[in-house]
Structure 1
């Protein structure tokens, strides 16, 4: 059965306040106190467009999660990091967050957190063609990334179980060890990893140019990611859009969460898709937030009708194509249809006379409305 707009607003509110994952906070008194304090409070978006529920849903779906919830997510990950730092004997580690929380495009008050546990300079890989490598700054070793990361994971799994005996430690994940429950107010995905000094990093020394090697335990291989470049590229473009790019990313993530049909696009790819929207059009959303919905609909519709163009688009860190499988493009079509319907509903709520008859008219109708 199709979800009503009231049901979507209720689901949105539950995600933002952590009601959908309240059990994770059960053993953390500070998190529970903060939850109880905020549960009865209305957010600003809930007081807008009170007679226009689809409009209110869109306005809410774009907003960042309350800063207190985000702070608790970060603090929980650092609790896990502190315990690992004390208990891991075979490696010196440093810790960084990756993913939606540090990028501030997460849509849940109680959001999973990705914690990179990085082997420090005692072991790393590097591009042999880089400037530092050419000058002899690195020392080759017979150790391999695969074995080092397997060894690290073998230490981290029991260390987490011993540090948090009341928590659930799920070791079945291929790339991360998931720990949740007990005294932890959030679920934390612990990712064994080490640094990779790319040629760009050897030249710039900038964190966003530095790669990360992670373990795929199930397939016994390693993978290279650039999580800090993704964060940097999206954040820089969001500045150009005056904050509207991250709002657009949150919007499509919430639409996916509330869709009638499954949309098989991960958060990383949803951010990548909106990364290629028209920043000039999104910038107008700084003053007229519904303009973000208008540009999101236009952009997704354009990609669906121009598949040859869409299939050439790269993720923000430049490492692969966004639509690297037919299933992802099919998911784009589903997402686009969901946004089409939402645009129509919002336009109908805000039309003075007859409803706008096509997407172009609907975009024009809503993109200069203030709430």
Structure 2
């Protein structure tokens, strides 16, 4: 936590208000002008905590991005979906969002949006052990062939639909489009449905998988983005909103850290998914209790590496800590949270001193910040 707290607060404000994302917007666009106007308007969290800057930062780092920013991101993805639906002639397409934006754990005012462009009805994969497997028609086509062709059609379609935008086709799994009249950068992900055995039984979206193209590796990858969103969202309800706040807190701490924290957003969400949800629930009244539980959980995982190594991501597809780099990322994030926790606890100590860990947790679990 080498950068001073005022620098961190400034960085947090700029990130939340989109200042760090203005580069993707055309300087004469309505979106750019709107962000310029909003840049100097304070948010509610900025008025809290009085002369306690570490507390102010911790509270701000937990909050959701202003809903208008999220809405604009979704509308931008919808614009792109509408154009692809009209211009991609070889496929009927279904469109869904995945990632941090629909889960509402994104931390940037101008946040990238992930748009799945799914082949609909014409082609899909299915689990042959499912109860409805005999209702599907096997195809001689392969996922790799179908998705490669879809990508070949989508790249020129995007360029023709948004001639002033930049269409970056170098990515292996997504086509990135930004600039021009677009208010957000959008990652367009060619994909198709995978009907799991669970989906065949339930018909619920969260049980349905997707298969995406990894062009550089010349292979396909199966993901379960809607299961991840559903499970994290359901657990957040049990935690009275504390789980999403803890995830955002970790992501902002990573963004403002001078340390190298090799943990992607998906894994940070997975780590906090296994935190004590009752402790996070305390944050509905004592918001700083979320910081206390986040610090405790990260410290515990790194101190109990064998237990951490057994933890799965929410959708159950792999272990969270499947590389040594992620354990090192956990250490760095834990150190970052230790330092923030101690600084906030000191601000709530009667004598302004850094209390013991146990005393600090007690202070934050009981603190009320208006």
Fold conserved between structures, TM > 0.5 = yes
> What residue in structure 2 maps to residue 300 of structure 1?
298
Q: Does 1:345 align with 2:309?
A: no
Counterpart CA distance in 1 for 2:29 and 2:149 is 35
What is the rounded CA distance, in whole Å, between the counterparts of 1:282 and 1:107 in structure 2?
19
4+ residue segments displaced more than 6 Å: none
**Contact in 1 for aligned 2:99/2:225 (Cα 8 Å):** yes
| Deviation by residue 1:116-158 (Cα, 9 ceiling, x = unmatched) | 000001100000000000xx20011100000000000011111
**Structure 1 residue 199 displacement after superposition:** 0.3
Q: Secondary structure at the match of 1:77?
A: helix
Q: Distance in 1 between matches of 2:24 and 2:308?
A: 39
1:266-291: per-residue Cα shift (whole Å, max 9, x none)? 00000000000000000000011100
Q: CA RMSD in A?
A: 1.2
Q: Is the contact between residue 31 and residue 72 of structure 1 (CA under 8 Å) also seen in structure 2?
A: no
SS in 1 for 2:96: strand
Unaligned 5+ residue runs, structure 2?
Answer: none
Q: 1:268 to 1:28 in 2, by over 3 A?
A: farther
Instruction: Say if 1:27 and 1:183, in contact at 8 Å, map to a contact too.
Output: no
The equivalent residue for 1:66 is 66
Q: CA deviation at 1:33?
A: 4.5
**Taking structure 1 as the reference length, what is the TM-score of the superposition?**
0.97
Matched residue count: 369
Equivalent pair of 1:84/1:160 in contact (CA under 8 Å): yes
Deviation per residue, 1:297-356 (Å, 9 max, x gap):
000010011001001101111111100111101110010000000001101111102624
Deviation at 1:183, TM superposition (A): 1.1
* Equivalent residues in 2 for 1:38-57, closer than 5 Å: 38-57=38-57
- Structure-2 separation of matches of 1:265 and 1:354: 33
Verify the 8 A CA contact 1:124 1:194 in the aligned structure 2.
yes
Question: 1:103: Cα distance to partner?
Answer: 0.3
CA distance in 2, matches of 1:234, 1:141: 35
Alpha-carbon deviation of 1:31? 2.0
Q: Which position in structure 2 is the counterpart of 1:326? A: 324
34-43 vs 97-106, greater mean Cα deviation? 34-43
Shift of 1:39: 2.1
Q: Deviations over 1:186-205 (max 9, x none)?
A: 10000000000000000000
Residues 67-107 of structure 1 deviation map (CA, whole Å, 9 limit, x = unaligned): 11111100111111111111101100010000000000000
Residue 228 (structure 1) aligned to one of 214, 217, 226: 226
- Report the alpha carbon displacement of residue 248 of structure 1 after superposing the two structures with TM: 0.4
Q: Is the 8 A contact 2:196 2:207 kept in 1?
A: yes
Give the Cα–Cα distance (whole angstroms) in 2 for the partners of residues 90 and 69 of structure 1.
Answer: 34
Note if contact 1:28-1:184 (Cα within 8 Å) is conserved in structure 2: no
1:28 Cα deviation after fit: 6.7
- The residue that corresponds to 1:23 in the other structure is 23
Partner of 1:360: 358
State how 1:63-212 maps to structure 2 within 5 Å.
63-133=63-133, 136-212=134-210
Q: Distance in 2 between matches of 1:309 and 1:157?
A: 44
Tell me, yes or no, if the aligned pair for 1:179 and 1:189 is still in contact at 8 Å: yes
Change (3 A) 1:281 1:95: same
